[in-house]
Amino acid sequence: MDEGIKYNTKRCLFCGEGEDAAELYPRTFEPEDLTPEIFSARRVTEHFHYKIVRCRHCGLVFSREILPDDVLARLYSSSRVTFDEYTGIIREDYWRHLSPFLNEINKGSALEIGCSSGFFLEKLLEEGFKNAYGCEPSIEAIGKAPPLIKKNIYSGFFKNGIYQKNSFDLVCSFQTLDHLSNPDEIIEICHNILRPNGIAYFIVHDVDSLQARILRDRSPIIDIEHIYLFNKKTLKKLFDRGKYKAIKVSDMKNSYPLSYWIKMLSLGGFGDTLKNVVERTRIGSISLPIAAGNIFIIAKPMKE
């Protein structure tokens, strides 16, 4: 990676130029560390991250100097899919939190931003949606999508102009909003392409979760992939400012096996030993539903 990269300085989404931010953690990587592997989802973190700050006015946590979007696009396009064995679990967990709200909308067209191989889009079609579309930068992920899904996946970053106004009854995105350099603009675009009675369903990491507070910069969410990190208050504020009515903002449970939780804690040699022990005794395959630090929002666009 070119050492002459010009980093983009980010500001608080809510306080802008008038922010007063405190440094939480210093930058931990060098340009030569930047490879597509460290931008692959659900890997074990190397604890590479930008300088992380917290706005003293509103509490928003974010990365200060980040890679420009063209560099990020190249890295994400070459990123790998490392979680195939968990997609069945993931899609059921995501569906479980969404399904109670679907009686209020038509099951016409749905869009997922950051759809990977389209496994959740398949779930939406199975549950009665007529059409399912996705956006995904990873070439490998799109290549793994089934033909019915692949033809409806836009290859690249989600942006204005891809979809027409009032096109979707559901726009969803999982663990992607905190990867984006412009989440406020993305929320605005979603508002435009959602139908008046549609809903937005987003899942992000919770920067105020117990594991994040205990592990601090050793937490998996303090990572170079994450630019803006939210808690329930700042996530709701983002959607409020984007002219949505929040229906629910809540913790969510993930149902991964014990071996996955141990792996993601990134405990070094001890963690590897513990993971091997639980896998040998078959305890590692036991599903363990935990509210481990993810939150979701269901919101409706307020149309003029």
Q: Is the dihedral of CA 226, 231, 233, 239 positive or negative?
A: positive
pTM here? 0.89
DSSP state letters, 137-199: --HHHHHTS-HHHHTTEEES---TTSS-TT-EEEEEEES-GGG-S-HHHHHHHHHHHEEEEEE
Average pLDDT score over the chain? 88
Residue closest to 172 by CA, chosen among 231, 225, 132, 216: 132
Residues pairing with 21 in the sheet: 55
Model pLDDT, residue 265: 62
Summarised one tens digit per residue, pLDDT across range 268-304 is: 554 455 556 556 666 656 666 777 889 999 999 998 7
Of the candidate CATH numbers 3.40.50.720, 1.10.10.60, 3.40.50.150, 2.30.30.100, the domain formed by 84-301 belongs to 3.40.50.150
Structure token pair of residue 200: 């937005």
Model pLDDT, residue 40: 67
- For residues 156-177, average pLDDT: 97
CA pair distance 212, 11, nearest whole angstrom:
22
Model pLDDT, residue 36: 75
- For residues 4-26, average pLDDT: 90
Q: Which residue has the higher pLDDT, 264 or 193?
A: 193
